[in-house]
Amino acid sequence: MACNKVKMVIDKEFRISEIDERIYGSFIEHLGRAVYDGIYCPEHPTADEYGFRSDVKEMIRDLNVPIIRYPGGNFVSSFNWEDSVGPVSERPRRLELAWKSIEENKVGLNEFTKWARSAGSDVMMAVNLGTRGIADACNILEYCNHPGNTKYSDLRISHGYKEPHNIKTWCLGNEMDGPWQLGHKTMEEYGRLAEETARAMKIIDPSIELVSCGSSSLTMPTFPDWEAVTLQHTYDHVDYVSMHQYYGNEKGDSEDFLACSDDMDQFIRTVIATCDYVKAKKRGKKDIKISFDEWNVWYHSNAADNDITENHPWQVAPPMLEDIYNFEDALLVGLMLITLLKHADRVKMACLAQLVNVIAPIMTEAGGGAVWKQTIFYPFMHASAFGRGTALLPVISTPKFDTSRHEDVTAVEAVPVYNGEKDEVTIFAVNRSIKDDAEMTIDVRSFEGYRILEHIVLESDDLLAVNGPFNEKVAPKQTSQSSLDGGMVTSMLHKASWNVIRLGK
């Protein structure tokens, strides 16, 4: 086995941007067991007085998620928000058309908002621009944010919530470019609707931030025309454009799978270029920021999901999108986090989709059993814990290789984050070579007086290793693979490994 030689220079003056903590957001949709039997399970021994599982909430707190997107997702495009408020006993059971399920509305807008705050998170609310429109968006905003003495704010108060929820971030629909979306729109249709919805919502509450729907993936046939056309309508009224992307290793090609973060990087660069084109065309002064509000690995559960929707529809909380993640999935999640951080100047929000049971880092056994951490839990936890502060531009010299679909793939991907308040710097690094270790030499002379605090590694001899309840095969460990001498760190990065190298005084 060869050992690649990698060199990196980091300097506290090589700044990309301050990192918005909302880059570590997540997402909960009324889909599968995300809500029911996920965060909400009244019969569970740890359930609180409202029926929410305390053990799941504590695990979410471990991830330190600052914002959670809700209630969808495809779900939102047929969501009647009025069904989800008021006395639970009076709420209707509805056909949920996106996922062919039954929605009982036992958990609704108010309960979720209260739960999210108790979990340490703000809410990113999505409005239904599929089957509904401007009036509905205004009504739900009035219900959530207006203090009182109006129809919908008084309705909220009558439901036991005197103080407004003050939700500040709102998505103008979901994946409206997708033919699978209920109420799918053309570029011009969506642009006009989103513009007028945004205009009306900001009359009600000028302090809110709005997210315009971007493309559902890099491979959409309308990309990037969708962004160019819709933003010409929404530019003056919105703050963000959304991005969504999932990856899978359907062909069992691990080398190529781990190169998919390069596609994510190109996706982000193209969206930035398109946003800046619209800015230039409109003689604008503001930069449109990015809300990458759906990203993850998703492919393991496809066959089971299709069977449920086609052959066993109209269940309550069926087990859908329950991908069991393996070790290589965790590596790609780490690579995707590094990619987001490298674009921290424009990517200000991002949502790992989703949070519990549905393509999620946290799983619960069906029927209210144990809660456990998937392999992807750990890179996200590390980034959220140590990736706060300033993203620094790494200058890296690394070997490159080609895969079946990608060229010039870097053997090592890395990004440093400087936390001035704590006087620490953390280097997140993935050796995505599945064959060769790498010796990385890091010039850290600008961080005078620092010492190595720890080197955390996530690795496995089996790329397909998975975790399960009471059976954690993939977990991080402390290692002594880093040393510091004369302002130079030398770190051994084992093949196919996620590494967190922390330095401080």
- Write the pLDDT tens digit of every residue in 221-261: 999 999 999 999 999 999 999 999 999 999 999 999 999 99
Helices (H) and strands (E) in the chain, counts: 11, 27
Considering the entire predicted model, what is its pTM? 0.96
Q: Is 13:297 a contact under the CB 8 Å cutoff?
A: no
Any idea which residues carry the catalytic annotation? 175, 294
pLDDT at residue 436, as a whole number: 95
For CA atoms 22, 26, 30, 31, give the dihedral sign. Answer: positive
Residue 178 sits at the vertex; the CA angle it makes with 174 and 182, to the nearest 5 degrees, is 65
Q: Smallest Cα–Cα separation from 388: which of 321, 337, 323?
A: 337
Mean pLDDT (the chain) is: 97
Q: Is 60:358 a contact under the CB 8 Å cutoff?
A: no
pLDDT at residue 367, as a whole number: 82
Q: Smallest Cα–Cα separation from 345: which of 420, 290, 293, 394?
A: 290
* Alpha-carbon span 176 to 77, nearest angstrom: 9
Hey, is 499 helix, strand or coil?
A: strand
Instruction: List per-residue pLDDT tens for the chain, 505 residues long.
Output: 689 999 999 999 999 999 999 999 999 999 999 999 999 999 999 999 999 999 999 999 999 999 999 999 999 999 999 999 999 999 999 999 999 999 999 999 999 999 999 999 999 999 999 999 999 999 999 999 999 999 999 999 999 999 999 999 999 999 999 999 999 999 999 999 999 999 999 999 999 999 999 999 999 999 999 999 999 999 999 999 999 999 999 999 999 999 999 999 999 999 999 999 999 999 999 999 999 999 999 999 999 999 999 999 999 999 999 999 999 999 999 999 999 999 999 999 999 999 999 999 999 998 878 999 999 999 999 999 999 999 999 999 999 999 999 999 999 999 999 999 999 999 999 999 999 999 999 999 999 999 999 999 999 999 999 999 999 999 999 999 999 999 999 999 999 999 999 999 9
* Measured CA distances, 264 to 165, 239, 256, 351 (Å): 34, 21, 13, 14
Q: 3-state SS string over 418-465?
A: EECCCCEEEEEEEECCCCCEEEEEEECCCCCCCEEEEEEEEECCCCCC
pLDDT at residue 374, as a whole number: 98
* Alpha-carbon span 80 to 127, nearest angstrom: 10
- In order of their start, the domains of the chain are 3-11+391-504 (2.60.40.1180), 20-79+86-142+163-386 (3.20.20.80)
Give the chain's end-to-end CA distance (angstroms, integer). Answer: 36
Phi (first) and psi of residue 468, to 5 degrees: -155, 175
Max Cα distance, the chain (Å):
72
For residue range 335-385, what is the model confidence (pLDDT) as tens digits? 999 999 999 999 999 999 999 999 999 999 988 789 999 999 999 999 999
Phi (first) and psi of residue 364, to 5 degrees: -120, 145
